[in-house]
Structure 1
């Protein structure tokens, strides 16, 4: 009998991890208890046919495996029994390894003999191997003269070689399989291990154990291809970026007795060293990749804000992330990212953390100039999550909220940001359309929406834009519903009495002062306080005629922001650095687009705002913003705080909702004509 692929995978799991439980197998392979039982019966029947003892299962779902099974299936001798438990996926990987590493021409017989399956099975596996190679833009070709070969760009073939070597080494008895199929001899392997140790000494670091095992095989197979004439001719590596590195100099420890290794090949091997993870380094060179440390720091700041936590000893965490992200920088930039397979099901909290990390990863992606692959964000999440566990932090107990708005992406994001400011202690997971909300997978506690929704969670109806009184009422309503009290209505004396029951107080007076200062602080993270005396500013009071500029066209988006902001600089309401901050933030913030041709660039008050102000730049022909937008109306917003401009912004949103009036502004012939339209919207029309 022949085991199915599912049965083979389960048997391989049992051999490689005997302590695995029935429940873990069910979760990993998405099986019911009955399905696992059926596979277990088939496995024991197969073991009996091959003269091996059955695997027993205890009442607690654990397994008892006879040593004879390990001896037979994990021995260096690969007979019919061990080959019979290859899954299709494993056969595909081994076929690709043979195509990449063989020193002789390969025929169909080579594959059938090595894998001990029929020709029809191999032909089917070849088709699956081609599907795998499609992702690398490579092809399997056959000719009578040269047999089976992989053809295509050599850079892509090297990427494939690195990946497949890693995958085969993860198999049960993978080292022996790799050495047998590739013909790598032990003495050559030992020699390259010594050379890699010299590289470690030269660079004052230690590669991870996994990389230390993999690197000799990869280097031997790469050099074998070079010697056979398969060389990388050109690829998008910047010579200046790699040639000055210590890793480039360290390649001499590997290549000293290899003649005629081209500069391009030496650069590729340098890149392989740079992309290899280390677990220890004598030094961390912050200058090796300019601006990497600020990018990591910005990423952590965004994560802290999204997760509503404060990371303790963050400099140590930053160093830990830097150690991982230095090699990851090169992996991502040159598309050499390893595929990391995480076993088992991920916890609910990890999924939420991962979601928040992905939302915070922007500064790193901007620095590298490419999207961050899932495997890298997952590993970053593990590092940050482990750090949080160490300091006792968790988002599990925090209130998690989503914002559901049917009025389009831009309006939804504005509502999302407003509510984040109003409830800084909540973790806001996403702003969603109604359709997205119906299929949302992450767990949440409360929903904010301007419309009624069907949900079992707490739903709070909120307008898109809230006045000061409305903000106060909404916060009070939410806090009473969730906690049964409003956080600033806390009796400090009562809190002190509770503390006395459980601990000794050294200085009660100082404790009371600190608690009162904390509970009654009047900043952005405290409860919103009602302020009836602050007058709301209308749109036409901010966008006065002096703040309106009419142009037919502008050369670039950056120039458009500078010209639009000039009136505020001349009046001393903003500093020049505020303009730079607006340009920087707009590079990765498409949510400043609030209509088909309207944008509201802005930055934080601390970036250089002296006094509240708004301007308008009208462009008849429009200016390109990113790949998707042509902008005709640019409203620069400068606010002293996070509330002062809200009333005028609400009026601006009403204007943005009228295609007729925005078109009138775009085609206006005078500033006075534009200001009349703005005056029309400078009263409550919502």
Structure 2
């Protein structure tokens, strides 16, 4: 494989259906002739994964591959990019390793010579690296006679080193046989990496001190948290050994922490790194990391009631959007989210960088729940003055989903028949056993049926009714499998229709055909945001400064919700009236390193009442969960058809 093939195959993975070499050239920036010349080699690379590059006359090319095969190909492309000296990923790792571990007067010229690329390429690389380091409050400086250096607080530097190393060791081969006394939460890959960088006795010392801290706190850290804490402490031993003790809190708020976690931090550090110097900041930062680490137990309700109040306000809207208000009675859910909000505050006050890529799986498995949580997250963000990460929103979505599963309420119905009581009872049990979540509370013979006394009641009728009636599912007297299927489908449709009726009226006010662009050929997400913002501004929905605010928020927390959809939204700020601009891209573009987007809804919200906001988000919640609708939107001929589909009752 070479760089050209890697670039072309990467785009093929993101593209479904047929595409021409001209379109592939447009997507990649590689010439048509070069792509055609490389197609046979590209095809052979793809076949290694039992996938196939199909060629059809007058249609073009098509990658025939399952999602698992696409994922395998992408993993190997990333591994290739990390090892190829001509790749930015390789150069990034080389430059960061040099600046982290060997900060010895490296200049642009020296990096250029060692990596065998031009000075211009190194300068571009350094700009990307500077953007990466800014996530950790670090900067790159060029000091005369001293070369390029990373500047910032010691704690931020440690966080950047841990993050950078994590991105590398995950894909490496690993040691198969682990020491018997190694903690079960340290994976083979992690242990392999640890032994490459740290003495084995330090690994054992750190894990033992962490386990003592768990006993002291009466908590058990989950595997990811235990492993990350181990890694941080191993690095801390090395840094302090080099005389780099934390001495500056920088601009951090340093909120007061629970004394038990400070005592646990002291217990750990005094055991693994006995020091005579001032270790107060080392204790405090480690205590903060211990406090936000995930544990195997449920969250403990914080002493400060504000977190519970914020959780209740947020849940009342999100659960109403999903028509799951009964879940608000779940005390465990309220405790878990209140506790999590306190941890989020501590993370922001101490500027802790914690991640686990949870959102990638949650967006795929719980897309509609994640979308509902994300679209109203501004309520929490405004009250806590923070921007939540995708992983934090995913954790909230996971907690809500689990609570919904625990609090499921059955749908009640009445069975209307013209048969004998024994057969009616048999049919009642048959339906209840076959249709999950449905309870037949009564069976009524047609002679005793009085419609005026059963308004609003769901009815399953084996008797053809002479007059149409709402909330009624007519089936045959046999109650066969086709009837069972009809009942299940009809229940879903009735629930959906009930949820969407009011929502549509509010939402229609915010959509216009003139706010829709289809098949736009733009490859940068900032350009997509600007295009949509221009539409809203030109039609009087927003004020100047809106697009910059959206971009600033996207940099902090991407608003992707899975299925190739992104939904940036702003409440009140720079908004004159509620409106939604829609951009459908001709080709998917990278919105995050792991997510491609083809459809953007840029939402400006200015509703005054919580009821309006609720209806607005109910529409989007229903839409995101409707795979068929999204498919129609992606296939719509132009803005007019797109708008008609969007506003149809089917949506």
TM-score by length of 2: 0.49
With structure 1 as the length reference, what TM-score do the two structures score?
0.47
Give the greater-gyration-radius structure (CA). Answer: 1
